[in-house]
Structure 1
Amino acid sequence: MSILTMEEVGKTFTNGEIEEEILKGINLSLQEGEVTALVGASGSGKSTLLTIAAGLQDVSVGQIIVNGERLTGMNQEQIRKIRASQFGFVFQFAHLVPFLTAEEQLLLMLEVSESKLTKQEQKIEVDRMLTLVGMSHRKNAYPASMSGGEKQRVAIARAMIHKPKILFADEPTASLDSKRSQDIMELIRELTKSEKITTLMVTHDEEMLKFVDRVVKMSDGVI
């Protein structure tokens, strides 16, 4: 089942009188339970493609369809609601709130996504997700006391706690050593399958490609 479809998507930036075409006629379809990696040299357009797919930038031409809904043409408030309820984000750095515990980070995400769960159900779901990422024993820990790998595990749990349709991951292992990078990629892959999420990831690390289902190579704004 296709969760995200991009149809003839293009993106042009204007700098004074100069127009630069960053994306050119992109066609891409992502399936449920699939991990797709975007690879390519710096400036190839992969990060622009990720942010456009996530509704963080507008397209210049083309259509983006998420779970049967056309993102293109929606107003900013409509897109914000879709991002909050249907998207999860993991970046190179965890960006955890420093004064919140691991448990509180996830509870905040449920609040932001306007979860319909009761308070008790939210607590149960937070415990389940922290167990899945191997952080249940650190539920009351603050970011300052966590290792880089632990922070990233909490960030992944936070990104998935509200059961998004799509996880967008931008260089999720770039700040970690080789062992922790592999652990994090194994975790992303396992959760993509078990939670029936679609994952789109940008990476420069070829070692991480063994954990993905599909590799999409970009060059000069095309696939």
Structure 2
Amino acid sequence: MALFTIEDVYKTFQNGDVQEEILKGVSLTLHAGEMTALVGASGSGKSTLLTIAAGLQSASSGNIIFEEKNLTAMNAEQIRQIRASQFGFVFQFAHLVPFLTVAEQLTLMLNVAAKHEQKQQIDRILSLIGMEHRKNMYPASLSGGEKQRVAIARAIIHQPKILFADEPTASLDSTRSKEVMELLQSITKELNIATLIVTHDEEMLTYVDRTVKMVDGVIQ
């Protein structure tokens, strides 16, 4: 059974006197332990679909189903709670807090009361991403690839079930991009999460389990 289902989703925007249809009845399923890439030309609707799936904006019609719960029937606070507890987000830029160390970046995302449990979880995730030796460093001392690794760690530290990644390698060179994709691939499998990634880089598609192409608001 699918962990996450996008069902017949439409999205329209009002542009002056004209209604622009960005998504035209899109349906997609995501499964635990699988990384799905969403590709397409600029303006095809892929980033709009990702943000709707992640609960960052609403669909004009259709359903977003997570663990048999319909997000489109929920109010803003209910959606916020699911985003905070069950979803993780990685963006093009790491957006790390400059005055916090690597370990402190992750502590921000934890709601665990006991300090020793926080430390254990942080150490486990830093080991998973190969950054345990950098835990006390500040962002200014990290490379672009290391910053994105910390951003990924921050996205999964609360153990989400879905990871949304919007162009996570766009600001990196080819070597760092491959490292980040290898990390996303291993995290998806090891933590058994569903990962949806938007990318324009076809070289990165070798790391995903499934590629979905969007053209003019529909999935081909």
Instruction: Give the TM-score normalised by the residue count of structure 1.
Output: 0.96
- Report the equivalent of 1:222: 218
- Give me the whole-angstrom Cα distance separating, in 1, the residues matched to 2:56 and 2:3: 18
4+ long deviations beyond 4 Å: none
Q: What's the offset of the Cα at 1:117? A: 5.4
2:203 corresponds, among 197, 203, 207, to 207
- Give me the whole-angstrom Cα distance separating, in 2, the residues matched to 1:197 and 1:117: 24
- Report the equivalent of 2:186: 190
Structure 2 matches for 1:8-19, cutoff 5 A? 8-19=8-19
Q: What's the offset of the Cα at 1:67? A: 1.8
Instruction: Give the TM-score normalised by the residue count of structure 2.
Output: 0.97
1:123 corresponds, among 119, 128, 139, to 119
Q: What's the offset of the Cα at 1:217? A: 0.1
Q: Which secondary structure state, in structure 2, belongs to the residue aligned with residue 13 of structure 1?
A: strand
Give deviations 1:92-136, integer Å, cap 9, x for gaps: 1101111111001111011xxxx3452211110100100110110
1:165 corresponds, among 151, 161, 164, to 161
Q: What's the offset of the Cα at 1:3? A: 1.4
Structure 2 matches for 1:24-173, cutoff 5 A? 24-110=24-110, 115-116=111-112, 118-173=114-169
- Give me the whole-angstrom Cα distance separating, in 2, the residues matched to 1:155 and 1:117: 22
| Equivalenced residues, count | 219
- Give me the whole-angstrom Cα distance separating, in 2, the residues matched to 1:117 and 1:128: 17
What is the one-letter code of the residue matched to 1:171? E
- Give me the whole-angstrom Cα distance separating, in 1, the residues matched to 2:118 and 2:4: 28
Q: Which secondary structure state, in structure 1, belongs to the residue aligned with residue 22 of structure 2?
A: strand
Structure 1 portions without partners, runs of 5+: none
What is the one-letter code of the residue matched to 2:142? M
Q: Which secondary structure state, in structure 2, belongs to the residue aligned with residue 5 of structure 1?
A: strand
- Give me the whole-angstrom Cα distance separating, in 2, the residues matched to 1:8 and 1:164: 25
Give deviations 1:156-215, integer Å, cap 9, x for gaps: 111001010110000111111111111110000000000111000000000000000000
What is the one-letter code of the residue matched to 1:54? A
Indicate the percent of aligned positions where both proteins have the same amino acid.
Answer: 71
Q: Which secondary structure state, in structure 1, belongs to the residue aligned with residue 108 of structure 2?
A: helix
Q: Which secondary structure state, in structure 2, belongs to the residue aligned with residue 204 of structure 1?
A: coil
- Give me the whole-angstrom Cα distance separating, in 2, the residues matched to 1:129 and 1:67: 25
- Give me the whole-angstrom Cα distance separating, in 2, the residues matched to 1:215 and 1:118: 41
What is the one-letter code of the residue matched to 1:221? G
- Give me the whole-angstrom Cα distance separating, in 1, the residues matched to 2:5 and 2:78: 18
Q: Which secondary structure state, in structure 1, belongs to the residue aligned with residue 49 of structure 2?
A: helix
